[in-house]
Amino acid sequence: PLNVAYILATSSTASSFVGNVGIGSTSPATTFSVVGSGYFTAGLGVGFATTGAGQLHATGLGIFEGRLGVSGTTSPYQELGVTGDAALGSAATTTISANSTSATQGGCIELESPDGGWVRIYPGRGSSATTSSGAIGLGLVFEAGRCQ
């Protein structure tokens, strides 16, 4: 419940509150706490004052725990799932990085063929070697199957 003693000022378009405000909570943990789902007819700005309808606009670092589905992906099988195409661009070098802390295998790229089969590409053990001419040999491994 809202305690009206903490309302500083109201008008037809705005209200000011002192302390924490809770929706669905009688003991909000932060300045603004919501227990339950939310629905916004406009956008939601995090560190940004205004957004367009249906937009989430955040400045700074966005942290998502669990899996994130983009463009209709409702059950991604990895931490990031995208339905459709993805484009990366940069004013400098555009980089895609696959890094693993696994002791047995490094970063891995997996591709699905039109018939539903999978191929994985990853660097083999000791695959990077600098030759006397300074050339780097990459020893990539191509195998049937998914990254593990």
CB neighbours of residue 89 within 10 Å:
5
Annotate 59-105 with DSSP letters as a single string: -S-----S-EEETT-SS-SSSEEESS------SS----------SS-
pLDDT by 10s per residue, the chain, length 148: 454 445 555 566 677 777 888 888 888 888 888 888 888 888 888 888 777 787 888 887 888 888 888 888 888 877 888 888 777 777 777 777 766 666 566 678 888 888 989 998 887 665 555 556 665 556 788 889 888 7
| Pairing verdict, β 32-34 and 21-23 | parallel
